[in-house]
Structure 1
Amino acid sequence: MYTKSEIAKKFDHTFLKAFGTKDTIDTLCQEAKDLHTYSVCVNACWVSTCKEDLKDTDVKVCSVIGFPLGQCGLETKMFECNYALEQGADEIDYVIDVGQAKMHNWAYLQEEMNQLTQLCHEHEAKIKVIFENCYLEKEEIKKLSEIAKEVKPDFIKTSTGFGTGGATVEDVRLMKETVGDLVEVKAAGGIRDWNTCKAMLEAGATRIGISASKAVLDEIQ
């Protein structure tokens, strides 16, 4: 299906916990270099550290915005996003305002997606929209995917990994079937073994958010 190196290039090698130190981030970047992952994914305060650690490599730096709750308001997300981009982020993963999705305030969510996508694309950065599917009904996931199909961020993403559940094959398939070839899908949250990872790729995910990158790659023959 894929070579090990091709799979590594689908990985955002991730550390987002509150207790990260410079040593943690330096280790993350070294692992990403050794494994040849697509990127590292970190909180915004570590973007410049990662850019320095990863200079002269092809490993990208991804930063999370409005993380993990998504309820800081659009103006705050725009400020945060701009800060991460100025620090050198190549990609942005932002969390939607899930409360607005539960209220079916689709106009708000479309405007949020529009503004953040435009900001990232002006900086030639990719953007991923985190739905946090564990709190959503299937019809809400589908509606958000339809909005993304119109706005055209680079990716829609299943989860933060900090909610009550992570990626499911069913959700990845639903998201991919809805957006088709116009938007890619990132699966994240609870992917800790090769079988789970493989199922997400087969369901249509083209990027995997994962902290257990080495363990999963070591499983592959």
Structure 2
Amino acid sequence: MTPDRASVARMIDHTLLKPEATPADVAALVAEARRLGTYSVCVSPSMLPIDPATLGDVKVATVCGFPSGKHHSEIKAAEAARAVADGADEVDMVIDVGAATEGRFDDVQADIAAVRAAIPAPTVLKVIIESAALSDDAIVGCCRAAEAAGADFVKTSTGFHPSGGASEHAVQLMAATVGGRLGVKASGGIRTGAAAAAMIAAGATRLGVSGSAAVLDTLDAPAAEQTDSGGY
């Protein structure tokens, strides 16, 4: 059964991470998030703070170590801490994907733990693993490292990696590994209602979407009639 529009909206991080984004674009994003009823907006850290008076009940998410993950852990930690000081409720960090591909999961865990220490609860920490670039074993290893380091979510993708974004298989594997103890965020390439519904059915508990209106507007349309609108 396709989940209803309001429920899906409350799972969406309404996302704007384009390098050319302006303050006016962020203001428009926030206004659209409120109109659509999304859970949060997700913006680059340099676009913070956002005036709380404009947000209503919309949460603020940001990214760190984005998009490559090839930053020293202390830099990621400092970036995350600055973002929280600037009003972020949630931080989506990128791991060192190279460490994961080599099976260095202790290093992945230490990287995540450094950010977790800098932004303790109640700040939500999501860990982007670039699942499309990883083997199944590496996906499992990253999810276990994220849980051991105290993360709140594992997330499929930045949406910027050439290997691609979220897949149903990756979401299923991530959900099975974390077993409900962590959330699972599917992001990258979710551009239709059918794609969003498929990710939720696979086990996603949060969605990263830039074209949220198009996704929500096509939730009840037959998959064959849906078209890819582009975007994150």
What is the TM-score of this pair, normalised by structure 1?
0.95
**CA–CA distance in 2 between the matches of 1:50 and 1:66?**
24
Measured at CA, do residues 82 and 105 of structure 1 come closer, stay the same or move farther in structure 2, by a change above 3 Å?
same
Q: Which amino acid aligns with 1:70?
A: G
Deviations 1:164-208 (A, max 9, x none): 200000000000001101111000000000111101000000000
**CA–CA distance in 2 between the matches of 1:77 and 1:151?**
15
Quick check: 2:171–2:204 contact (8 Å CA) kept in 1? yes
- Which structure 1 residue ranges, 4+ long, deviate > 6 Å from structure 2? none
Q: Equivalent residue for 1:139?
A: 137
Quick check: 1:14–1:209 contact (8 Å CA) kept in 2? yes
> RMSD across aligned C-alpha pairs, in angstroms?
1.3
Quick check: 1:189–1:210 contact (8 Å CA) kept in 2? yes
Unmatched tracts of structure 1, length 5 or more: none
Q: Equivalent residue for 1:77?
A: 76
**CA–CA distance in 1 between the matches of 2:5 and 2:194?**
14
Q: Which amino acid aligns with 1:184?
A: G
Deviations 1:127-155 (A, max 9, x none): 10000112211110011112223333110
**CA–CA distance in 2 between the matches of 1:70 and 1:51?**
29
Residues 187-202 of structure 1: pairs in structure 2 closer than 5 A: 187-202=186-201
Q: Which amino acid aligns with 2:144?
A: E
Secondary structure, counterpart of 1:69 in structure 2? coil
Quick check: 2:194–2:219 contact (8 Å CA) kept in 1? no
Secondary structure, counterpart of 1:12 in structure 2? strand
Q: Equivalent residue for 1:163?
A: 161
Q: Which amino acid aligns with 1:202?
A: A
Q: How many residues align?
A: 218
Stretch of structure 1 that moved more, 180-189 or 104-113: 104-113
Residues 52-131 of structure 1: pairs in structure 2 closer than 5 A: 52-54=53-55, 57-122=56-121, 124-131=122-129
Q: Which amino acid aligns with 1:79?
A: A
Secondary structure, counterpart of 1:121 in structure 2? coil
Quick check: 1:93–1:130 contact (8 Å CA) kept in 2? yes
Secondary structure, counterpart of 2:87 in structure 1? coil
Q: Which amino acid aligns with 2:9?
A: A
Quick check: 1:50–1:61 contact (8 Å CA) kept in 2? no
Secondary structure, counterpart of 1:40 in structure 2? strand
Bigger helix share:
1
**CA–CA distance in 2 between the matches of 1:191 and 1:171?**
14
**CA–CA distance in 2 between the matches of 1:131 and 1:40?**
20
Secondary structure, counterpart of 1:89 in structure 2? coil
Deviations 1:29-81 (A, max 9, x none): 10001011000000001121354531xx1100001000000001101101100
